Amino acid sequence: MDILNKIRTSSNKVKRHNRFIKAKQKKPLPLVSQKLLLFAFTLNDLTAEDEIEFKVSEFLGRHPGGKDLKQLDFGCDALASAKITLGEADHDSSQFDREYIPLFSKIKLDKTSIKFQFNGNFKNLLSPTGNYTQYLYSSVRHMRSPHAVRMYDLLSQGVGKYNSRKISVEELKSILGLSDSKSYKNFAAFNRSILQKCLKDINENTDLEVRLELIKTGRRCTHLEFFFTKKESEKKKSIAAPNQQNASNQPDSNETMQNSLQQKMKMLQSLGFSREEILRELLKTDVVNEVEETIEVESKVVEEPQPMQSSIDFEFQGKINKLHTRLTELGMAQDIVRLAVQRYQSNPNWKIWPEVNAVKMAQKDGQNFPNVHTLKKWIIGE
């Protein structure tokens, strides 16, 4: 596949079979992993047999730095061990059936590119022609919460078809990978730390306006109903597009082709390809040799693409890695380490670091308090 076939712009569309979207997770994926996974689904003609590849700069929207590669390494490592559970029937149903499938058979990362190879069991779910959901990747690239990304993915199934979606609390937890989290057994904590923050992230950073209503059975909240609609600015864009296409002053075919080539060349140039590479790739297609004379490759990019995610996101992922390392060094049990990482990932303002540093200093000074046991109780919330 040549370069032009791999390039995707801000109009990239994530296209996923609905079984992927409804799939359950044992534990949530980190933010960078969620975005890498969805970005992979913007590729055309996905197959389980072939390696799919894209440039690191293409994913980031800029040339990568050292911190970027560190976080991509973290994200790819999490994806390499990730699996999903397919199947919708309840445990007490006669139709109960589950498939537990790792997502990828191989992931390879270097300084310039990322290569994925999906698990062969997904061959009938990749590049679907029916029963799929599609939305712009740009809708999720600025989101800050991995749970919000997953929730947006889920709610997008109903956009344009329904005004709301009803789901049980337990089913949503299993889709978000939080079923086994002790921190969110209490609904008030789940609502405060997950649901409300997801709604805020979606409403501020995507093309959807979402509100939530709680449905109670007795005194207990058992179901949620999400009401969603496209933002007014997005509706105006969709209305304006056909009107622009029907404008009376249509450019002639030569002008259209030249504008198209200019756009492709600017896009390739923004991703770091040299003038020679760009011309060589264009000349592999139906472009005639005169392209070098008629199309000017600018020395500077006119419009830099928006970064897929800010450096702040990557710095926070670095803090998550650091927290895992520090707690392990203190001798904390891995189940408590995972719980702490999940809570910190869900709430970046959680005051975990002063507690960790206090235990570290106590160990260094030979003091018995605070210690690992008191830190464990603090993390669990006892």
pLDDT digit string, tens, across residues 150-197: 999 999 988 888 889 999 999 999 999 999 888 898 999 999 999 999
Token code pair at residue 240: 């304006």
Instruction: Find residue 225's DSSP bridge partners.
Output: 166, 213
CA atoms within 13 A on the CB side of 173: 19
> What does the pLDDT read at residue 283?
53
Question: Is the domain of 3 the same as that of 127?
Answer: yes
Residue 268 lies in a domain: no
Cα–Cα distance, 166 to 7 (Å, whole number):
37
Question: Is the domain of 109 the same as that of 10?
Answer: yes
Which of 187, 209, 233 corresponds to the end of one domain? 233
Cα–Cα distance, 279 to 62 (Å, whole number):
21
> What does the pLDDT read at residue 126?
86
Question: Is the domain of 118 the same as that of 174?
Answer: no
> What does the pLDDT read at residue 274?
58
DSSP-based helix, strand, coil % in the chain, nearest 5: 50, 15, 35
Strand segments, DSSP code E, in the chain are 13-17, 52-55, 83-86, 99-102, 104-109, 113-118, 132-136, 164-168, 208-217, 220-230
CA dihedral 274, 277, 282, 285 (to 10 degrees): -160
Q: Is the pLDDT of residue 252 over 60?
A: no
Give me the mean pLDDT over the 256-275 stretch.
Answer: 61
Question: Is the domain of 86 the same as that of 217?
Answer: no
Place 224 in a pLDDT band, splitting at 50, 70 and 90. Answer: very high
Domains in the chain: how many in total? 3
Place 247 in a pLDDT band, splitting at 50, 70 and 90. Answer: very low
> Which residue shows structure tokens 């999720």?
140
Cα–Cα distance, 363 to 368 (Å, whole number):
7
Question: Is the domain of 116 the same as that of 162?
Answer: no
Which of 233, 248, 281 corresponds to the end of one domain? 233
Residue 252 lies in a domain: no
pTM above 0.75, yes or no: no
Q: Which domain holds residue 155?
A: 142-233
Count the Cβ atoms, other than its own, within 10 Å of residue 187: 15
Q: Is the pLDDT of residue 293 over 80?
A: no
> Which residue shows structure tokens 């139906």?
286
Question: Is the domain of 20 the same as that of 94?
Answer: yes
Residue 154 lies in a domain: yes
More confident residue, 188 or 265: 188
Cα–Cα distance, 27 to 34 (Å, whole number):
12
Burial 223-238 (b: 16+ CB within 10 A, else e): bbebebebeeebeeee
Question: Is the domain of 92 the same as that of 150?
Answer: no
Q: Which distant-in-sequence residues (6+ apart) come within 8 Å of 14 by Cβ? A: 38, 39, 41, 42, 134, 135, 136, 137, 140, 153
Burial status of residue 155 (CB atoms within 10 A of its CB: 0-12, 13-18, 19 or more): buried
Token code pair at residue 181: 């989290």
Which of 233, 248, 268 corresponds to the end of one domain? 233
